[in-house]
Structure 1
């Protein structure tokens, strides 16, 4: 059982540190190549979500209904668009990073920086989703339950995106 867990703990950590036990017999370059491929797969999922949401957000300002929303709602909209733009930049950043440093024999370092950009993008995506949901519920319902509903959804995001992975990491990582 312990051997199985050891082999599963090989992905790059967000802080760029090495796992306690690599569990594989691979060179630094082979590990960097594998981690880069894994990171690209993760980024593809997040990029798609942020690009669709960002594209939708950009069109909202040009609808007739937008002109009738309050100044507060417009401020929330601007914050949402800016957060979405920052999330897109952070999630697209690893691609640009890779292109610029490609062939320089620094893939392990590139993996670390790309991982950090991806994590920042996920946090910014959380902000974007939260503010977009807040804005939509505020405009649609005008109800006092909006903060509670948004808080519940944010709690769900935090559970799925951070708490559960951190719990699994702690539970299934042997201390060395």
Structure 2
């Protein structure tokens, strides 16, 4: 029995079976993963290319540490994005769609958090290298503020309007 309202078969009054709802939810997850995957690939490509630039050897210890943390975050985001697909492959045809949707949704949420942190960190690194440490911290703060706005404020204000 499902107790999480996100996985209730008919919370919005649609005339669909439980299986149809899970299929639709799975399609939604895949669409969101495609959008996140593109951004992750672009950021990962930037990070990979940065290591082969002449100025890379000029990074100070803080910048190098931040860069390496960002590489780990990029790899983590890539793996989290693959997680739902791997899960689907492993459980495909075993009548586990509900489980796939529930776990896939959690992996997607984790991926979104990691990509949000990755974007903030990359912005900070670019500002740090281009302008200086203070500017890098300011860029990090502003980007994290944007993350909070997108994750907390926008959903709350749009829920209040409904």
Q: Same fold (TM over 0.5)?
A: yes
What displacement does 1:149 show? Answer: 2.7
Which residue in the other structure is 1:23 paired with? 13
Q: Is residue 2:109 matched to residue 1:119?
A: yes
The answer to which structure has the higher helix fraction is 2
Residue segments in structure 1 that go unaligned for 5+ positions in a row: 1-12
Q: 1:65 aligns with which of 30, 48, 55?
A: 55
Distance in 1 separating the partners of 2:65 and 2:94:
44
Q: Which runs of 4+ in 1 moved over 2 A?
A: 15-22, 143-146, 160-163, 165-172
Higher RCO, Cα 8 Å, sep 6+: 1
CA root-mean-square deviation? 2.1
Normalised TM-score (structure 1)? 0.82
Q: Where does residue 77 of structure 2 map in the other structure?
A: 87
Query: How big is the shift at 1:166?
Result: 4.1
Distance in 1, matches of 2:81 and 2:30, equals 10
Residues 20 and 105 of structure 1: CA distance in aligned 2, closer, same or farther (over 3 Å) = closer
Provide the rounded CA distance (Å) in 2 between the counterparts of 1:98 and 1:167.
Answer: 34
TM-score (normalizing by structure 2):
0.88
- 1:96 equivalent in structure 2: 86
* Closer, same or farther: CA 29–17 of 1 in aligned 2, 3 Å: closer
Contact 2:124 2:137 in 1 (8 A): yes
